[in-house]
Structure 1
Amino acid sequence: MEIKTFEDLIDWTRQLHAHLARSLHESAGLNNDERASALLDYLSRHETLLEKAVSEFEKQADPKAMKTRLYDYLNHKPIKASLASDTHYANLEFKDIAREVFQFHDQVMDLYDSLIGKAEIPEAKSLLEDLLAFEEHEAMRLASQIGRMDDL
């Protein structure tokens, strides 16, 4: 997907959460470790909720911000995600699954953070700040939940 506007960026983020949710869901049934499978199932449901939340950002964002062009996106390394579902999580252990999911979220947050300083209009900057705050909050919530699961 070519990202030209903030609307494209948010849609792309939504698609990435959806892709991750599918990959985690498909991997959950294939992982032989009961704890890892439970984590994959939880993460899949969480990513589905994130996809829906990002979709709400698309609907409620300022149209002026959504149509603003992103010129500096190409200077940021793209997030690695294939179009087909990736079931490699089925072969990972609990801690490795958690690490990869956090790396994914860190990349999204780094992208938003790098674009905040380059936003040309206040509405776009505000939108990015809201998206970043949302992703940070969800990452902290996820860390707390995974920590509890790991303690069991």
Structure 2
Amino acid sequence: MEIKTFEDLIDWTRQLHAHLARCLHDAAEKHGNERASALMDYVASHETLLAKAVAEFEKQADPKVLKTRLYDYQTHKPFTPGAACDPRLTTMSFDDIAKEVFTFHDEIMELYKTLIGKAEIEGAKTLLEDLLSLEQHHAMQLSSQIGRMNDL
């Protein structure tokens, strides 16, 4: 997916979260470790909710901001809907799964931070800050829950 506008960016983010949810759900069913499987199921449900929350930004954001072009978009791995899931998920440890999930979220947050620093239109900057806040809030929730699961 080529990202040209803020609308594309939001859609790309939504698709990434939905894809991660599907991959984790599918891998959880195949994983031999009950604890790792439970983690993947939890994160999958969390990612599904996050994908829906991101989709709301597309519905509620100013249409002019959504159509604003992103000229400073950094090169990130393009995402193709229907992309294959990482087969390693079915064999990863609890800690490796958690690390992978947080790396995923960190990359998205870092992208938003970079774009905030380059945003010249106030509405675009506000939209990015709101998206970043959503990602940060969900990452903190995940961290808290994963920490509790790890304590068990």
Give me the TM-score of the superposition, normalised by structure 1: 0.95
Q: Does 1:119 align with 2:119?
A: yes
Give the Cα separation in 1 of the matches to 2:113 and 2:17: 18
Q: Which runs of 5+ in 1 are unaligned?
A: none
Q: Does 1:68 align with 2:74?
A: no
- SS in structure 2 at match of 1:126: helix
- Cα pair 1:26 1:87 within 8 Å, conserved: no
Alignment of 1:28-67 (within 5 A): 28-67=28-67
- Cα pair 1:5 1:70 within 8 Å, conserved: yes
When the two chains are superposed, the root-mean-square deviation of aligned CA atoms in Å is: 1.2
Deviation at 1:77, TM superposition (A): 3.7
Corresponding residue pairs, total: 150
Distance 1:90 1:80, change over 3 A: farther
Deviation at 1:63, TM superposition (A): 1.1
- Cα pair 2:12 2:79 within 8 Å, conserved: no
Give me the TM-score of the superposition, normalised by structure 2: 0.95
Deviation at 1:78, TM superposition (A): 0.8
- Cα pair 2:36 2:93 within 8 Å, conserved: yes
Deviation at 1:80, TM superposition (A): 7.0
- Cα pair 2:2 2:78 within 8 Å, conserved: no
Distance 1:38 1:81, change over 3 A: farther
Q: Which runs of 5+ in 2 are unaligned?
A: none
Deviation string for 1:97-131 (max 9, x for gaps)?
00000000000000000000111210000000000
Give the Cα separation in 2 of the matches to 1:86 and 1:92: 10
Q: % of aligned pairs identical?
A: 67
